């Protein structure tokens, strides 16, 4: 198995504040709305909905919240979200991929362009940076109190492709289309997760040494994360641990 993950510091926030948890609920709520609209409210016949419910549970969304979200989206067909992926370069040429769900593509495109421009970057065309990334399923488990060999065995039995040991967590790698199934199998074994997502993992990372570039990159990431339309942000900055 491979050692310390080269992308470990790229998108890791172990402790989630209440605001961050609320953001996760909002994101998953939008995904549920899309899935229900496309395939109906019954997860037994709607495979996409079933996967998103598994994703919600993997991200520690309480069952009561999931039920309320489902009831809300099942009774409200006014929202019409579409998935749009934006690609661009941040300061000093850092590659950035932004995944959004929006009901107003003009608004979202304008906001994305503003964020990049304000922070010394530029929004690119489709495909401008995506070739630098690989789609992977990433499941993160807090390693405290857990036996490495046991977790690795359980992960591989659940269908994982690889297993990394980090300083305070285990990182389980899956096919991007299998992350929900693998996390569901691990949930049945009693595991809880820091995160469980299909992510865009950079093939290589870059350091930033200029203080202004670091400031602008952090500000760009903050602005993107605070936007309700943004589902996920990935980049090639070898971001120092906080």
Domain of 40, CATH number, reads 1.10.10.200
| Mean of pLDDT over the chain | 86
pLDDT of 109 reads 97
For residue 123, list its beta bridge partners: 88
Tokens of 38: 């496309």
Q: Given pLDDT bands bounded at 50, 70 and 90, which one contains residue 205? A: very high
SS (H, E, C) the chain: CCCCCCCCCCCCCCCCCHHHHHHHHHHHHHHHHHHHHHHCCCCCCCHHHHHHHHHHHHCCCCHHHHHHHHHHHHCCCCCCCEEEEEEEECHHHCEEEEEEEECCHHHHHHHHHHHHHHCCCEECCCCCCHHHEEEEEEEEEECCCCCHHHHHHHHHHCCCCEEEECCCEEEEEECCCCHHHHHHHHHHCCCCCCEEEEEEEECCCECCCCHHHHHHHHHHHHHHHHCCCEEEEEECECCCCC
- Tell me if 45 is assigned to some domain: yes
Tokens of 121: 């970057």
- Tell me if 154 is assigned to some domain: no
- Tell me if 158 is assigned to some domain: no
Q: Nearest CA to 102 among 37, 31, 36, 48? A: 31
42 lies in which domain range? 18-74
Q: Is the pLDDT of residue 218 over 70?
A: yes
CA distance 153 to 157: 6
Q: Is the pLDDT of residue 144 over 50?
A: yes
- Tell me if 28 is assigned to some domain: yes
CA distance 197 to 179: 7
Q: Is the pLDDT of residue 25 over 90?
A: no
Q: Is the pLDDT of residue 169 over 80?
A: yes
For residue 99, list its beta bridge partners: 85, 232
Cβ(229)–Cβ(111) under 8 Å? yes
Q: Given pLDDT bands bounded at 50, 70 and 90, which one contains residue 18? A: low
Q: Given pLDDT bands bounded at 50, 70 and 90, which one contains residue 77? A: low
- Tell me if 172 is assigned to some domain: no
**Phi–psi pair at 161, nearest 5 degrees:** -95, -30
pLDDT of 241 reads 67
Tokens of 171: 């990182």
How many domains is the chain partitioned into structurally? Answer: 1
Cβ(58)–Cβ(82) under 8 Å? no
Once rounded to an integer, what is the mean pLDDT over residues 174-195?
89
- Tell me if 60 is assigned to some domain: yes
């Amino acid at each position: 198995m491979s050692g310390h993950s080269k992308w470990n510091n790229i998108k890791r926030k172990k402790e989630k504040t209440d605001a961050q948890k609320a953001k996760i609920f909002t994101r998953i709520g939008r995904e549920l709305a899309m899935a229900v609209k496309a395939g109906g409210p019954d997860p037994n016949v709607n495979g996409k909905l079933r996967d998103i419910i598994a994703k919600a549970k993997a991200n520690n969304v309480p069952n009561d919240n999931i039920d309320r979200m489902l009831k809300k989206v099942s009774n409200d067909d006014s929202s019409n979200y579409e998935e749009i992926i934006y690609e661009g370069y941040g300061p000093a040429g850092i590659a950035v991929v932004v995944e959004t769900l929006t009901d107003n593509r003009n608004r979202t495109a304008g906001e994305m362009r503003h964020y990049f421009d304000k922070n010394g970057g530029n929004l690119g065309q489709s495909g401008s940076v995506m070739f630098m990334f690989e789609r992977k399923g990433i499941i993160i488990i807090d390693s405290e109190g857990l036996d490495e060999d046991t977790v690795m065995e359980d992960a591989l039995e659940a269908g994982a492709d690889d297993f990394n040991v980090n300083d305070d967590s285990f990182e389980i790698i899956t096919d991007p289309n299998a992350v929900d199934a693998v996390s569901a199998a691990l949930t049945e074994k009693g595991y809880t997760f820091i995160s469980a997502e299909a992510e865009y993992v950079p093939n290589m990372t870059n350091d930033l040494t200029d203080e202004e570039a670091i400031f602008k990159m952090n500000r760009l990431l903050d602005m993107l994360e605070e936007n309700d339309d943004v589902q996920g942000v990935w980049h090639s900055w070898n971001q120092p641990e906080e």
